């Protein structure tokens, strides 16, 4: 019977942690790329559909995106301190940039974009499902779209840094 060496355990531990980090990123952050498509589709169908789409987005952020992003960060920090990466002794600049950018994007999503979506929902509160979009909604929707685009670009750029690892 073959025993498991300490080296084998650490390699498997690293692979499991890396898998969990990537899976959490795909599930939590990947889902956000559907939100602009959902909002555009809903706006073409009117106020009622748009209200529902915004409420769905708000709920998804609360139960999937924010908790998933926390897991991405936790598993990522765990990978830094895993002996397989060597990052705890030799921390690369690109990883520092990616982490700082991720934390900033997380803060924007959790506070700025959350407030933008809440504001957009509030502007539709008293509007009939088949009514016209009020001007206040158009302003709030523009903020949602701009911030959402910045967050999507950030997700892609952070992923690029994590995969490409410039200078390695």
* 105-113: long-range pairs with CB below 8 Å, 24+: 105/151, 105/154, 105/155, 105/158, 106/69, 106/73, 108/147, 108/150, 108/151, 109/61, 109/65, 109/66, 109/69, 109/151, 110/66, 112/147, 113/61, 113/144, 113/147, 113/148, 113/151
pLDDT confidence band for 159 (50 / 70 / 90): very high
pLDDT the model gives residue 167: 87
Instruction: Summarize pLDDT for 99-151 with one digit per residue, the tens.
Output: 999 999 999 999 999 999 999 999 999 999 999 999 999 999 999 999 999 99
Give the chain's domains with CATH numbers.
Answer: 6-164 (1.20.120)
**11-58 pLDDT, tens per residue?**
688 899 999 999 999 999 999 999 999 999 999 999 999 999 999 999
Would you state the pLDDT for residue 11?
Answer: 63
* 1 band by pLDDT with thresholds 50, 70 and 90: very low
Is pLDDT of 5 > 80?
no
């Amino acid at each position: 019977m073959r025993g498991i060496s300490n080296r084998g355990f650490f390699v498997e531990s690293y692979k499991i942690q890396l898998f969990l980090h990537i899976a959490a990123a795909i599930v939590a952050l990947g889902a956000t790329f559907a939100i602009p498509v959902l909002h555009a589709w809903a706006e073409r169908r009117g106020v009622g559909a748009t209200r529902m789409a915004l409420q769905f987005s708000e709920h998804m952020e609360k139960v999937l995106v924010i908790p998933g992003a926390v897991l991405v960060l936790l598993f990522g920090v765990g990978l830094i301190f895993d002996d397989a990466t060597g990052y705890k002794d030799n921390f690369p600049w690109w990883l520092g940039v990616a982490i700082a950018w991720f934390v900033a994007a997380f803060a924007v999503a959790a506070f700025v974009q959350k407030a933008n979506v809440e504001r957009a929902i509030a502007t539709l509160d008293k509007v009939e499902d088949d009514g016209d979009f009020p001007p206040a909604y158009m302003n709030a929707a523009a903020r949602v779209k701009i911030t959402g685009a910045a967050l999507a670009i950030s997700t892609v750029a952070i992923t690029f840094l994590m995969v490409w690892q410039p200078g390695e």
